[in-house]
Structure 1
Amino acid sequence: MLESLKKDVLEIAKRAQRDGLCKHKSGNFSAKVDETGYIVVTPTGLDREAMSVRDMIVMNLDAEVIENESGLRPTSEVLMHIEIYKARPEVKAVAHTHSAYATAMAVLAKPIPAIVYEVANLGLTQGRIPVAPYGRPGTPALAENVIPSIREADCVLMEKHGAVAVDDRDIYEAFLKAAYIEELAELYHHALTANGGQEPASFAQDELQKWAYPSEITFPNSK
């Protein structure tokens, strides 16, 4: 069931580990099928490099396991994924990572401002990556606490925990946003350090919303 989507989720989960966004058994990933409302999610307690397609788990949005071919349980944080899909029905993928700089900002409960223009593509609505209040991993509180922030932005820090990114296209795009969170967190850290702890200048939300593909570029079939 959903073999192609399982392969996509598995590949991104492994890439996240290779790229340093997750280490050991931390982090989790999922993708949703709109027609059925089913989600494919990574299992708990298994190193990603040891995962195979048959280890991917299919669930519905009532937290019922539909298929777990290898008998594994879904990630204990799947409730957060489910609540995100319910709160934002357009979302098709969720990437939850524990990358170092992003997690450091999450430990400090420090939102990351829009210090570079590339954040215009991160689905921010207030010119920042917000911080969701702490909730114990694997609990409904974690799922509930992240929702206000995920309604604000596609990229969110989770206090004392890590980061989560969502996208309305696919798991690859959600992964890219998670990677951008880490890159932005590292840049922010370096800027603060170089500036003696003083906040660097950042872009206002209305400036971020002005970006558009250059109209001066033309194509043969556009005339």
Structure 2
Amino acid sequence: MLENLKKDVVRIAKAADESGLCRHKSGNFSIRDKETGYIVVTPSAVAREDLTYHDICVVDINANAIEIETNVRPTSELLLHLEAYKTREDINAVVHTHSHFATAFAVLSKEIPPIVYEAVSYGGKVPVAPYGRPGTRKLAESVIEPLKVSNACLLENHGVVTIANDIDTALLNANYVEEVAEVYYRTLLINNGKEPKPLSSEELQKWAYPSEIKLNK
């Protein structure tokens, strides 16, 4: 069932691991099937190098298991993914990572401002969801308000969640969050802790492909 989506989840999970967004068995990834509404999601406690599409679980929006091929369980943070889908019906992919720079700001409960244009990808600022113990409904519900205003949020003392209409864009958002977090960290370091001037939402919305570039049709 949904083998192509399962393979996409495996591909993204391994790409996230290779790029350092999350290592070992941390992080989790999911895609919502547009036709059935089912969600394919990574299993709990399976190392990326051992992960195959047979290990990807299929669940419904109410956390009922629909298909599990191997001796695994869905990620213990499944409720987090499901709450994101319930909050944003326009999205079909969720990525949760533990990238270092972004997670450092999550530990400080400090949102990441839009200081460079890459922030356009996920909607500007990266707000912070209040602390909830991993795997709990409290953690899942903590992302509701942040994800209403951004396609990325920090989980206090935990990590990062990014969303998108497709899994590749959700992963791209996670990479951009980490890159902007690193630039923000280095800027604060160079500037003796003084906050840089963020780009306004109005400025971010003005970007357009240059009309001066003439494309052959």
TM-score normalised by L of structure 2: 0.97
In the other structure, the counterpart of 1:142 is 139
C-alpha contact (below 8 Å) 2:107/2:156 kept by paired residues: yes
Instruction: Output the CA distance in 1 between the equivalents of 2:208 and 2:121.
Output: 11
Partner Cα distance (1:37, 1:123) in 2: 25
Q: CA deviation at 1:214?
A: 1.8
Counterpart AA for 2:199: F
Give deviations 1:87-114, integer Å, cap 9, x for gaps: 1011010000001111100000010111
Q: Is the 8 A contact 2:121 2:176 kept in 1?
A: no
Q: Does 1:217 align with 2:213?
A: yes
Deviation at 1:216, TM superposition (A): 2.5
Q: CA deviation at 1:200?
A: 1.1
CA shift, 1:120, in A, is 1.5
Aligned letter for 1:133?
Answer: P
**Aligned mate of 1:163, from 123, 148, 160:** 160
Dislocated runs of 4+, deviation >6 Å: none
Range with greater deviation from structure 2 (175-184 or 112-121):
112-121
Q: Distance in 1 between matches of 2:34 and 2:163?
A: 15
Aligned equivalent of 2:195, options 196, 199, 211: 199
* Pairing 1:79-94 to 2, within 5 Å after superposition: 79-94=79-94
Q: Which runs of 5+ in 2 are unaligned?
A: none
TM-score, with structure 1 as normaliser? 0.95
SS in 2 for 1:186: helix
What CA distance in whole angstroms lies between the structure 1 residues aligned with 2:99 and 2:162? 12
1:189 matched to 2:189? The reply is no
Secondary structure in structure 1 of the residue aligned to 2:162? strand
Offset, 1:218: 3.0
Aligned match of 2:57? 57
Residue type at the aligned position of 1:64: N
Which residue in the other structure is 1:172 paired with?
168
Q: SS at the partner of 1:30? A: strand
Report what 2:96 is aligned to: 96
Residue in structure 1 matched with residue 28 of structure 2 by the alignment? 28
* Cα RMSD, aligned residues only: 0.9
Instruction: Give the C-alpha shift of residue 78 in structure 1.
Output: 0.7
Separation in structure 2 between the aligned mates of residue 104 and residue 220 of structure 1, nearest angstrom? 46
SS at match of 1:37: coil
Question: Any gaps of 5 or more consecutive residues in structure 1?
Answer: none
* Distance in 2 of aligned mates of 1:123 and 1:60: 28
The Cα shift of 1:151 comes to 0.8
Select between 211-220 and 57-66 the one with higher mean Cα deviation: 211-220
Identity fraction in percent = 54
C-alpha distance in 2, partners of 1:63/1:123? 29
* Other-structure match for 2:46: 46
CA offsets per residue over residues 144-177 of structure 1, 9 Å max, x none? 1111001110011110000000001x11110010
How far residue 217 of structure 1 moved from its aligned partner, in angstroms, is 2.6
Q: Which amino acid aligns with 1:71?
A: N
